[in-house]
Amino acid sequence: QTVVTQEPSLTVSPGGTVTLTCASSTGAVTSGYYPNWFQQKPGQAPRALIYSTSNKYSWTPARFSGSLLGAKAALTLSGVQPEDEAEYYCLLYYGGAQPWVFGGGTKLTVL
Amino acid sequence: EVQLVESGGGLVQPGGSLRLSCAASGLTFNTYWMHWVRQAPGKGLVWVSQINSDGTNTNYADSVKGRFTISRDNAKNTLYLQMNSLRVEDTAMYYCTRGYYYGTDYWGQGTLVTVSS
């Protein structure tokens, strides 16, 4: 069974920079896994932030960026705002009969 | 504006059935893959199923294969999830979401399914 691993929790100060990562049990994450990133606040539906590693949606704030960092996918927040406190999920594409696997999520605290 | 509105959730006994619906508006529904994703209370997101634009290709997570069926009615701009043989562990918020370039972009607000005796 494929497992996608994220940091369970991270803390960042307002105005700071933080990087969240997303690893695959199958090996290095490449662009072929089309990493997606989502933000979810309590009581709300998830909101898409990044698709295909680094592409932003029209609603994605400029301070969010996606990349590959070593063998992982990464989401970097630069100039963190208090409203960025949320759970963040990555999603990887594996193809085949069960093509999609979410990571377990990272709870980001802005303190 | 794209809107996805789920309905059909509720309380059901183990072994029972439910059919979820997702009404789509503001998009050319018959050109997009669609997905169901669920989230158990206090837990993370789990991909459940996907269907291609014309309904001829479907995929399921192992945990629901053989019990859940995804379908769509493009004339009604509606996505469905027929859930049979429900288990306590199927208790979750169920979201429909639009497929977009090897990912998903727009999400509904979800419908809650509770399986309990």
For B94-106, write each residue's pLDDT tens digit: 999 999 988 999 9
pLDDT at A92: 98
Report the distance separating Cα B34 and Cα B72, nearest Å: 9
pLDDT at B42: 97
Between chains, do A48 and B101 touch, taking CB under 8 Å as contact? Answer: no
pLDDT at A34: 98
Chain mean position to CA A26: 18
| Nearest Cα residue in chain B from A89 | B45
CA nearest neighbour of B74 among B105, B39, B104, B29: B29
pLDDT at B55: 96
pLDDT at A54: 98
Q: Which amino acid is at A11?
A: T
Contacts of B95 in chain A (CB under 8 A): 45-46
Between chains, do B105 and A101 touch, taking CB under 8 Å as contact? Answer: no
CA nearest neighbour of B28 among B102, B99, B117: B99
| Closest in A51, A103, A104 to B103, CB measured | A51
Between chains, do A52 and B106 touch, taking CB under 8 Å as contact? Answer: no
Give every residue of chain A whose pLDDT is below 50, as ranges: none
pLDDT at B37: 98
Report the distance separating Cα B58 and Cα B4, nearest Å: 20
CA nearest neighbour of A63 among A108, A15, A9: A15
Report the distance separating Cα B83 and Cα B66, nearest Å: 10
Report the distance separating Cα B50 and Cα B99, nearest Å: 9
* Cβ of residue A36 closer than 8 Å to a chain B Cβ: yes
Give B1 to chain A, closest Cα distance, Å.
13
Give every residue of chain B whose pLDDT is below 50, as ranges: none
Between chains, do B107 and A52 touch, taking CB under 8 Å as contact? Answer: no
Contacts of B101 in chain A (CB under 8 A): 34, 51-52, 55
Residues 6+ apart with CB under 8 A from B36: B20, B22, B48, B49, B50, B70, B79, B81, B94, B95, B96, B97
CA nearest neighbour of B51 among A99, A63, A24: A99
Between chains, do B109 and A48 touch, taking CB under 8 Å as contact? Answer: no
* Cβ of residue A100 closer than 8 Å to a chain B Cβ: yes
Report the distance separating Cα A105 and Cα A46, nearest Å: 12
pLDDT at B101: 87
Between chains, do B95 and A38 touch, taking CB under 8 Å as contact? Answer: no
Helices (H) and strands (E) in chain A, counts: 0, 11
Please say whether the beta carbons of A11 and A84 come within 8 A. Answer: no
Between chains, do B105 and A46 touch, taking CB under 8 Å as contact? Answer: no
